[in-house]
Amino acid sequence: MEAFKMTPPEWTESAGHAVQFCCPKCGASSLEAQEVWINRRSPVYTENHRRKWQEFYLCQCDYPWWAWSSDRPPSKYASSAIDPFSEDDEDIDTF
């Protein structure tokens, strides 16, 4: 599992910030990425005192992008939070 290595993979250096939690280029979701790397070394505290960190994804279209873990839409494994963006997911995928 590469995702939790301490050293960032080379492809993260050119990653672009994705405001929506999906590939800014082709709109594919993070679940479809071919590589993942999570920057757990430098978490940031949000105004709600919750931790967030950068999650890097190498998309299936070879575009590297990153987004804050706090921006990730809730999954079926974390359904406690109501995410205002979750209803938009289907629209994003059709880009």
Pick the binder of Zn ion from 11, 20, 25, 83 (CB under 5 A): 25
Tokens of 12: 């993260």
Q: Which is nearer to Zn ion, 18 or 54 (CB)?
A: 18
Beta strands in 1-95 (DSSP E): 16-17, 35-38, 44-45, 51-52, 54-58, 64-68
63 binds Zn ion (CB under 5 A): yes
The single-letter code of the amino acid at 40 is: R
**Contact between 28 and Zn ion per CB under 5 A:** yes
33 interacts with Zn ion by CB under 5 A = no
The minimum distance between CB 73 and Zn ion, in angstroms, equals 17
